[in-house]
Chains A and B, each alone.
Chain A
Amino acid sequence: GAGVSQSPRYKVAKRGQDVALRCDPISGHVSLFWYQQALGQGPEFLTYFQNEAQLDKSGLPSDRFFAERPEGSVSTLKIQRTQQEDSAVYLCASSLDDQPQHFGDGTRLSIL
């Protein structure tokens, strides 16, 4: 079956621009997670949705980061006024409630 789908795969933006990253979870998965992975490091948690409710946003590094999942399916992670330190791979994962998480291929974001 189809896995977690993320788009775009690669995004290059100039410092100060806003970006939006999309995640389409596995069909039927109520839980959706965003992680940020820097080169050579493990993924770091950003935020978690159960259906449309954002239950945990403790990992969002600043108020420039915003995520939404308005209809409980597709989610968008938005980064405003991007900075060079935002360059990373952004991973989306989904799961059935209380089951292991499955990751998408990620969006590689480069801020120039």
Chain B
Amino acid sequence: QKEVEQNSGPLSVPEGAIASLNCTYSDRGSQSFFWYRQYSGKSPELIMFIYSNGDKEDGRFTAQLNKASQYVSLLIRDSQPSDSATYLCAVNIGTGRRALTFGSGTRLQVQP
């Protein structure tokens, strides 16, 4: 079992719809969770981070964390073609570790 798992996609949604991206992780003790967006040929760009159970909203983005289920998700409302990218889930695995463990990413395609 991978430490951080994501569906590779592609996830295809129409413009204006809600895109839902999911991630599960193996270490029940993990405390910090991050979503990065990566355009083809570019570096990862931080979108959201969440440390506590529940929802965290920032503009069109909402991160949701459920530590009991070891599940973190990213919702993108009013999806735009410019949101088309690979979304990487990252987790600090291991007590006190600063290193991020990434999933393989989910490719999102927003259809105009």
Q: Do chains A and B stick together as partners?
A: yes
With A42-B104, A55-B98, A105-B43 given, can you name 6 additional A-B contacts, CB distance below 8 Å?
A: A33-B99, A42-B90, A48-B98, A56-B98, A100-B34, A103-B45
A-B contact count (CB 8 A): 50
Interface check B61, CB cutoff 8 A: no
The answer on a CB contact under 8 Å between A45 and B101 is: yes
Q: Mark B21-53, 1 if CB is under 8 A from A, else 0.
A: 000000000000010100000111110010000
Total interface residues on A, CB under 8 Å, equals 24
Interface check A70, CB cutoff 8 A: no
Known: A42-B88, A42-B105. A103 touches B98 (CB 8 A): no
Size bin of chain B's contact surface: 20 to 34
A25 to B7, CA, bound (A): 32
Q: Mark A92-106, 1 if CB is under 8 A from B, else 0.
A: 000000101111111
Residues of B within 8 A of A (CB): 4, 34, 36, 42-46, 49, 88, 90, 97-105
Q: Mark A26-70, 1 if CB is under 8 A from B, else 0.
A: 000001010100001111110010100001101100000000000
**Closest CB in chain A relative to B98 CB, distance in Å:** 5
Residues of A within 8 A of B (CB): 31, 33, 35, 40-45, 48, 50, 55-56, 58-59, 91, 98, 100-106
A-side contacts of B42, CB under 8 Å: 105
The answer on a CB contact under 8 Å between A103 and B44 is: yes
Which single residue of chain A is at the shortest CB-CB distance from B46?
A: A100
A91 to B104, CA, bound (A): 15
The answer on a CB contact under 8 Å between A91 and B34 is: no
Q: List 23 A-B contacts (CB under 8 A).
A: A33-B99, A35-B100, A40-B104, A41-B105, A42-B4, A42-B88, A43-B88, A45-B99, A45-B101, A48-B99, A50-B98, A55-B98, A58-B99, A91-B43, A98-B98, A100-B34, A100-B49, A101-B100, A103-B45, A104-B43, A105-B42, A105-B43, A106-B43
